[in-house]
């Protein structure tokens, strides 16, 4: 029963466009009403009608320790008692910066912001300032937040220069964004040949925003080579994969070292934090050290830093954690795959650490075009049937799922059992 959520959604829509503060939450691609959440407990969400769901969304990634983790909460509460914001330096910022520099080989210095969107927007400005060039290359299906120059879609015909994907974005602002195909190095080579000067290539090294689609090692190696050849910077957007695919993010899977890295989600432990970092000579271009302007009234907010610091330290202090999480995620997708097979439903599955993905698709998925061939109607039926049974999966086929530490093997077995019933009916 979702009676109260139905009412709450109606009321919200009167005052908030679409009733939500971020579009994916409205459940448009699966239909139905989004449950309004009252609280979270470990691996579970409880909605305002008192339904209980096993949560594979975990706030879209940040909550690797599940909801209301005691250590993170304590750290937030203790810090909040000293004041919510000062607009002046605190020790917490340096402490969190040190933890990140210690983990990422490619990061000598880091700056904190308030969201992943802001981290990417700033990193791109820095890359442009550092190289003195305007064009950037991004990949279809990779998401880097909602800043103007990144809201692009493929243009018509052979052109690789992007068109705005949203009204309100002037074509002039996407004119410098070239679009390439994920895992396809020739498409990147064409961008370099067409452009008069590329500042950077940005990608999710483990793409999580078209479903879960990891980059191939050879593709990353070739990207590094092309960037070096043309003097462009390589940016890994690890807002999702950082501290999620592994403690050190994509570094655990590839030998390729980027020039800049963007972080978010887990780094805030559930509070709004983003960050970008890289080699010292590049980072020193940022104001006040250098000429590239970047700022934020609430950047490095002490309460947010305290949450992030507690989360990162907890991750670091438990060396077996990603092995355990990957075991859970693997058991889940293996179970889903078997359930699908026994119902003759084609399903593609993928795991990276605590991240998992599945496509209702006959063929393996290596890029956005492949992903789009998935059966979204079947996914919608799967989603709503699982939700009725108390399993909360992301409400779109093109999202990544997440496991968290409070999940137990029994929770996964229970989910697989439910999937077995549902696969037969969709």
Ligand X SMILES: *Cc1c(COP(=O)(O)O)cnc(C)c1O
Is residue 143 flagged as an active site residue? yes
Looking at the Cβ atoms of 23 and 83, the one nearer to ligand X is 23
Say how many residues touch ligand X, by CB under 6 A.
Answer: 15
Q: How far apart are CB 120 and ligand X at their closest, in Å?
A: 6
Quick one: 204 exposed, middle or buried, by C-beta within 10 A (0-12, 13-18, 19+)?
A: buried
Q: How far apart are CB 240 and ligand X at their closest, in Å?
A: 3
Stretch that binds ligand X, among 1-9, 39-47, 140-148, 374-382 (CB under 6 A): 140-148
Given the residues 109, 181, 265, 314, the one annotated as active site: 265
Given the residues 143, 182, 253, 392, the one annotated as active site: 143
Q: How far apart are the first and last CA of the chain?
A: 21
Contact call for residue 69 and ligand X (CB under 6 A): no
Is residue 265 flagged as an active site residue? yes
Looking at the Cβ atoms of 8 and 112, the one nearer to ligand X is 112
Q: How far apart are CB 57 and ligand X at their closest, in Å?
A: 12
Q: How far apart are CB 219 and ligand X at their closest, in Å?
A: 17
Residue with tokens 């330096």: 89
Q: Are 296 and 113 in contact (CB under 8 A)?
A: yes
- Cα separation, 277 vs 251, in Å, equals 14
Give 346-409 as a DSSP string.
--EEEEETTEEEEE--SS---SHHHHHTS-HHHHHHHHHHHHHTTEE--SSTTS-EE--TT--H
Contact call for residue 264 and ligand X (CB under 6 A): yes
Is residue 316 flagged as an active site residue? no
| Binding test (CB under 6 A) with ligand X, winner from 58, 79, 115, 149 | 115
For the chain, how many residues are written? 426
Residue 115 DSSP label:
S
Q: How far apart are CB 214 and ligand X at their closest, in Å?
A: 13
Contact call for residue 275 and ligand X (CB under 6 A): no
Give 304-325 as a DSSP string.
HHHHHHHHHHHHHT-TTHHHHH
Q: Which residues bind ligand X (CB under 6 A)?
A: 115-117, 120, 143-145, 204, 208-209, 237, 239-240, 264, 274
Give the residue numbers marked as catalytic: 143, 237, 265
């Amino acid at each position: 029963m979702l009676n109260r959520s139905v009412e709450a959604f109606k009321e919200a829509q009167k005052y908030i466009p679409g009733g939500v503060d971020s579009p994916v939450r409205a459940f448009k691609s699966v239909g139905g009403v989004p449950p309004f959440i009252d609280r979270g407990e470990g691996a579970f969400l409880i909605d305002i009608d008192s339904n209980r769901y096993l949560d594979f969304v975990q706030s879209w990634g940040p909550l690797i320790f599940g909801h209301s983790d005691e250590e993170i909460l304590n750290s937030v509460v203790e810090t909040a008692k000293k004041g919510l914001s000062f607009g002046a330096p605190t020790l917490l910022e340096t402490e969190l910066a040190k933890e990140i520099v210690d983990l990422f080989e490619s990061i000598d210095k880091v700056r904190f912001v308030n969201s992943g969107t802001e981290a990417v927007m700033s990193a791109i400005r820095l890359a442009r300032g550092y190289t003195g060039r305007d064009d950037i290359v991004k990949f279809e299906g990779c998401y880097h937040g909602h800043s103007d120059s990144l809201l692009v879609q493929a243009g018509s015909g052979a052109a690789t220069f992007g068109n705005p994907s949203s009204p309100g974005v002037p074509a002039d602002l996407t004119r410098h964004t070239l679009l390439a195909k994920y895992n396809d190095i020739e498409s990147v080579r064409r961008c370099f040949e067409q452009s008069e000067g590329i500042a950077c290539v940005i990608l999710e090294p483990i793409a999580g925003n078209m479903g879960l689609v990891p980059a191939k090692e050879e593709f990353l190696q070739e990207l590094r080579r092309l960037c070096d050849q043309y003097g462009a910077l390589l940016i890994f957007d690890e807002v999702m994969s950082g501290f999620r695919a592994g403690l050190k993010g994509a570094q655990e899977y590839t030998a390729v070292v980027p020039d800049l890295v963007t972080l978010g989600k887990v780094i805030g432990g559930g509070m709004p934090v983003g960050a970008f970092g890289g080699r010292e000579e590049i980072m020193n271009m940022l104001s006040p050290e250098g000429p590239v302007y970047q700022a934020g009234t609430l950047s490095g907010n002490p309460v947010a830093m305290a949450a992030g610091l507690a989360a990162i330290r907890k991750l670091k202090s438990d060396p077996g954690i990603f092995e355990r999480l990957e075991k859970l995620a693997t058991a889940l997708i293996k179970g889903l795959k078997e359930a699908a097979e026994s119902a003759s439903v084609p399903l593609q599955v993928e795991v990276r650490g605590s991240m998992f993905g599945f496509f209702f698709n006959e063929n393996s998925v290596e890029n956005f075009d492949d992903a789009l061939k998935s059966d979204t109607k079947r996914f919608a039926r799967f989603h709503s049937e699982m939700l009725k049974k108390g399993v909360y999966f992301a409400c779109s086929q093109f999202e990544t799922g997440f496991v968290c530490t409070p999940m137990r093997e029994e929770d996964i077995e229970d989910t697989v059992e439910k999937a077995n019933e549902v696969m037969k009916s969709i």
